[in-house]
């Protein structure tokens, strides 16, 4: 499934970095993200150091990103 960059940004609003992927999944769920996105974030595993790290990890699943 592909996710819009803006949806990922909204899902992670208020997240504190660095943190484990599971922590980000909890933030995303609390921000009302779709279940597919919450599961994708949770599936990243490990510690993520910032928004760029999350975007890089989801790169194959993102749409609407300007590089």
Residue 66: its pLDDT value, please?
A: 46
3-state SS record for 15-54? CCCCEEHHHHHHHHHHCCCCHHHHHHHHCCCCEECCHHHH
Structure tokens at 29: 């769920």
Residue 55: its pLDDT value, please?
A: 83
- pLDDT per residue of the chain (67 residues) written in tens, 0 to 9: 688 889 999 999 999 999 999 999 999 999 999 999 999 999 998 899 988 888 888 887 766 644 4
Residue 1: its pLDDT value, please?
A: 65
């Amino acid at each position: 499934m592909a996710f819009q960059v803006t949806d990922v940004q909204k899902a992670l609003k208020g997240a504190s970095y660095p943190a484990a992927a599971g922590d980000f999944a909890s933030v995303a769920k609390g921000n009302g993200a779709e279940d597919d996105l919450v599961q994708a974030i949770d599936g990243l595993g490990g510690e993520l150091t910032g928004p760029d790290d999350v975007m890089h990890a989801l790169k194959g699943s993102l749409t609407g990103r300007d590089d």
